[in-house]
Amino acid sequence: TFSEDRTEAAVVLRVAPGAPTTVEHVVISGLETTKEEVVRRELAVKEGEPLGLDRVLESQRRLGALGLFDRVTITEMDPDSADRRSVVVRAEEAPLTTVSYGIGYAEQDYLRASVEVTRRNLFGMDRRLSAFARASFRGFRMLGTFREPYLLGRKQELFFTAFREEEEREAFSYIRTGVTLQTARNLSHSWCLILRETYAETRTFNTTEDCLAFGREFCPGTLSGPSASLVHDTRDDPLDPHRGHFLLTDTQVSLRLLGGNTLVKGFVQGTTYQLLTKDTLVAFSGRLGLARTFGEEQLLVPAPVRFFAGGDYSLRGFGLDEVRPEGGNALILGGIELRRHLLGAFWG
C-alpha cells in the first residue's frame, strides 16, 4: 500500500504453510574405510524427521569438522516429491596417515631431528593415534596420544597420552615419564568439567645443586592419582578480555597406593574484567591454593606441585617465582589493575 505522496510503501507478506517434507531414507555412499555409523551419528538430517536447509548445512559442517573427508555433498534424490524425500550423502575420504618431520639446532640439544606420525580413522571409527619422537645429541623425547571420540556410545572425547624424555645438561640430567587419561564435558556454554587420571615421575641426577636452581619442573617427585577441574569462562576475548570473568577450580590427589607421593592439593583462580568507560578498564584477580602431604617424611609437598608467586602473570615487581624461591604449601594472592587505552592496540 502506497502513501498518499507515493514516496513510501507498506508491504505485507502473507505465508501459507504447506505440508512438511519428511526425510524418507538417508543413503550414504563413497565410504571405503569409515564405518557408516560414524557418518550417521553426525547427521542432523534424520529419517522420519522434517527436511530443512539448516539441517543439511549443519550436517555438512559436522562431517567437515571430523577431518576425515576431502569433500562431503548432501543432495535430495527425489526433489519433485512433495511430502517425502530421500537424501544422499556422498563422502570422499581423505588420506588416513600423515607424516611430518623436521631438523634443527638448539643451544642445549645441538643438532636435533623430529618426526610425527598420525593415523586417523582407526578401525574406521574416527579414532586417532599419533606418535611423536625427537632426538638430539643430548637426549630424546617420545610422546604417544590416542583419541576416542565416542566414549561408551556417547559423544564424549577421551584422550590417553604417554610420554618419556631424557636429557643431559651441564648442571644436571633428568628422566621424566608419565601417562594421562583425560576427558572433558561442556556443562553449558560457559561451564566445563575436566577429569584426569595422571601418573608422572621425574628423576634428577648428576647434580650437587638444589633442583630449584634450574627449574622446579626438574625436581624429583612422583604424582599418581585423580584430579578434576571446573572452568567457568564468560570473557569476550580469552587473549585480550575487556568484560566478563574467568573462574578455575582444581583439585588433585596423589596416593602411594597408586605409586606416587601421598598428597592433596586444591587451587582456585578467579578474574573479572569491567569497562568503566570505552577507554578505561578495571581488572580484579585472586588466587588461593592449599596443599599438604600425608604419611610422608615432610609436610612440604614435592617441588613440582608447590605454590610459587612472582612474575608478569603473578605478582609484578618480582621475577618469576622470586617471592619465596623454595615455594610453599599455601598461596593467597590478589590484584587490581586499572588499564587505560593509549593508542591503537596499546594500553597502560
Question: What is the tens place of the pLDDT at every residue in 98-140?
Answer: 999 999 998 877 899 999 999 999 999 999 999 999 999 889 9
Average pLDDT value for the chain: 92
Output b/e per residue, 159-170; b: 16+ Cβ within 10 A.
Answer: eebbbebebeee
Residue 8 has pLDDT above 90, yes or no: yes
List the single range of 59-73, 261-275, 310-324, 329-343 with lowest mean pLDDT. Answer: 310-324
Grid cell in block for residue 108 = 642445549
Residue 297 has pLDDT above 90, yes or no: no
Grid cell in block for residue 248 = 578455575
Residue 79 has pLDDT above 80, yes or no: no
Residue 82 has pLDDT above 80, yes or no: no
CA distances from 294 to 260, 289, 298 (A): 12, 17, 9
Determine which helix (DSSP H) or strand (DSSP E) holds 348, and give its type and residue range: none
Query: What is the percent of the chain where pLDDT is above 70?
Result: 99
* pLDDT tens by residue, 245-287: 999 999 999 999 999 999 999 999 999 999 999 999 999 999 9
Grid cell in block for residue 35 = 564405518
> Given this model, what pLDDT does residue 117 score?
97
Determine which helix (DSSP H) or strand (DSSP E) holds 40, and give its type and residue range: helix 36-40
Query: What is the percent of the chain where pLDDT is above 90?
Result: 73
Residue 76 has pLDDT above 80, yes or no: yes
Long-range contact pairs involving 6-15 (C-beta distance under 8 Å, separation at least 24): none
Side chain identity, residue 166: E
> Given this model, what pLDDT does residue 282 score?
96
Task: Taking residues 88-104, report their average pLDDT.
Answer: 94
Q: Supply the pTM of this predicted model.
A: 0.82
CA distances from 222 to 11, 203, 264, 303, 343 (A): 73, 9, 13, 10, 49
Residue 28 has pLDDT above 90, yes or no: yes
H-type helices in 118-209, by residue range?
none
* pLDDT tens by residue, 154-208: 889 999 999 999 998 888 899 999 999 999 999 999 999 999 999 999 999 888 8
185 contacts: CB under 8 Å, gap ≥ 6: 156, 192, 193
> Given this model, what pLDDT does residue 257 score?
92
**Residue of 176, 217, 233, 193 lying closest to 302 (CA atoms):** 217
> Given this model, what pLDDT does residue 83 score?
81
Residue 43 has pLDDT above 90, yes or no: yes
- How many angstroms from the chain centroid is the CA of residue 134? 23
Give the CA angle between residues 113, 116, 118 to the nearest 5°.
170
Handedness of CA 45, 51, 53, 55 (dihedral sign): negative
Strands (E), the chain: 22-29, 69-76, 84-93, 97-106, 110-122, 127-136, 139-151, 154-168, 173-186, 191-205, 221-233, 244-254, 263-277, 280-293, 330-343, 346-347
CA distances from 54 to 36, 50, 58, 60, 240 (A): 22, 11, 6, 10, 33
Residue 141 has pLDDT above 90, yes or no: yes
Task: Taking residues 304-326, report their average pLDDT.
Answer: 89
**Residue of 190, 193, 194, 261 lying closest to 225 (CA atoms):** 261
> Given this model, what pLDDT does residue 152 score?
84
Task: Taking residues 92-103, report their average pLDDT.
Answer: 94
Residue 343 has pLDDT above 80, yes or no: yes
Residue 296 has pLDDT above 90, yes or no: no
* φ/ψ of residue 61, rounded to 5: -65, -45
The residue assigned the cell 575420504 is 93
